[in-house]
Structure 1
Amino acid sequence: MSKSALVVVDMINTYDHPDAERLLPSARRAVAGIGTLLGQARKAEVPVVYVNDNFGLWRSHHGELLDTALAGRHADLVEPLRPDENSLFVLKARHSIFYETPLAYLLGQLGVSRLVLCGQVTEQCVLYSALDAHIRHLDVTVVRDAVAHIHEDLAVAALRMMETNMGADVRDAEDVSF
């Protein structure tokens, strides 16, 4: 089996943006699946990489982002997913986890050839990240009950595109093995 990494996309979040109200119900449902994945990955000693928007605060570090999210109105969505002492953290600027980040280098250093993607938003950051992983010849698993969406119809289409066009393995959290 390929060496895997669990990548948690944009879940350290204040939910203080224009689409938050549409995203919140789906994010609440995704937390359980992401929690399952975190438990499985940590037990298997698989690298867990949080790749997160920086809220436009370029001087921020991951601890500050976590503190800001935990102090927000939706800390209940962040607390169960908080990074542990072994978690890795990469800041991103926009959409893809690879765009202008050191993630590809980090994955190479770790010998990772398979990404298990979870987080938000299915039809945006998760989709673009899966495509960028695919063009880097990485195997991709997208966990359907551990991703959150703004537009359900677009999320369904995005999951189908990832599976059909990118060869992504789309499955539920309980069916993921590391």
Structure 2
Amino acid sequence: MAQTALVVIDMLNTYDHDDADLLVPSVRRAIPAVAHLLGEARDRDIPVIYVNDNFGKWRSHHGELLDAALAGPHANLVEPVRPDGSSYFIVKARHSVFYETPLAYLLGALDVSHLVLCGQVTEQCVLYSALDAHIRHLSVTVARDAVAHIHEDLADAALRMMEINMGARILPAAEALG
């Protein structure tokens, strides 16, 4: 069976952006499922890889991004899904977890060929990351209750595109890690 990794996309967030009012309620609903995936992956020694926007702070590192998110008004959305000492962390600047990041190299070093994606935003970063995984011949599962959206209709369309066009499995978090 393929080595699996859990990829947590953009969950360290200050929610200080234009779409935050639309995004926060969806994140709030997704948090329990993301936390479930994190707990299961850690219990089963499945690699957990956080890939997070740097919000244009080019001299920052993961600790600073986490501290800023925990100091913000929505720390309650970050605390339950914060990285632990065994988590990998990659900073990204654009939508895809692969774009200009060392993720492909790390996955190769870990012998990972299957990604379980969770996080935000379904119709943006999750969609583009699933596409980039697909074109790299990685299998993808998206935990549908562990992804958050800005626009529900676009998120539904994105999940359908991932399933039909990219062969992604769209499953509840309770089934996503197999």
After TM superposition, the score normalised by the length of structure 1 is: 0.99
Equivalent position of 1:75 in the other structure: 75
Judge conservation of contact 2:121–2:150 (CA < 8 Å) in 1.
yes
> Which amino acid counterpart does residue 147 of structure 2 have in structure 1?
V
Equivalent position of 1:65 in the other structure: 65
Distance in 2, Cα, partners of 1:32 & 1:58 = 31
Equivalent position of 2:124 in the other structure: 124
Distance in 2, Cα, partners of 1:177 & 1:145 = 13
Deviations 1:86-111 (A, max 9, x none): 00000000100000000000100000
Distance in 1, Cα, partners of 2:118 & 2:90 = 15
Equivalent position of 2:98 in the other structure: 98
Equivalent position of 2:158 in the other structure: 158
> Which amino acid counterpart does residue 131 of structure 1 have in structure 2?
L
Cα offset, 1:176, TM superposition: 2.1
Q: Which stretches in structure 2 are left out of the alignment for 5+ residues?
A: none
Distance in 2, Cα, partners of 1:81 & 1:176 = 17
Judge conservation of contact 2:26–2:149 (CA < 8 Å) in 1.
yes
State the Cα RMSD in Å: 0.6
Equivalent position of 1:138 in the other structure: 138
Cα offset, 1:59, TM superposition: 0.2
Distance in 1, Cα, partners of 2:65 & 2:176 = 28
Equivalent position of 1:27 in the other structure: 27
Distance in 2, Cα, partners of 1:51 & 1:177 = 18
Question: Counterpart of 1:69 in 2: which secondary structure?
Answer: helix
Deviations 1:58-117 (A, max 9, x none): 000000000000000000000000100000000000100000000000100000000000
Question: Counterpart of 2:36 in 1: which secondary structure?
Answer: helix
> Which amino acid counterpart does residue 106 of structure 2 have in structure 1?
L
Cα offset, 1:55, TM superposition: 1.3
Identity within the alignment, %: 72
Judge conservation of contact 2:37–2:177 (CA < 8 Å) in 1.
no
Distance in 2, Cα, partners of 1:177 & 1:46 = 9
Distance in 1, Cα, partners of 2:91 & 2:176 = 26
> Which amino acid counterpart does residue 144 of structure 2 have in structure 1?
R
Distance in 2, Cα, partners of 1:177 & 1:87 = 16
Judge conservation of contact 2:116–2:177 (CA < 8 Å) in 1.
no
Cα offset, 1:175, TM superposition: 1.3
Question: Counterpart of 2:6 in 1: which secondary structure?
Answer: strand
Cα offset, 1:33, TM superposition: 0.5
Cα offset, 1:177, TM superposition: 2.8
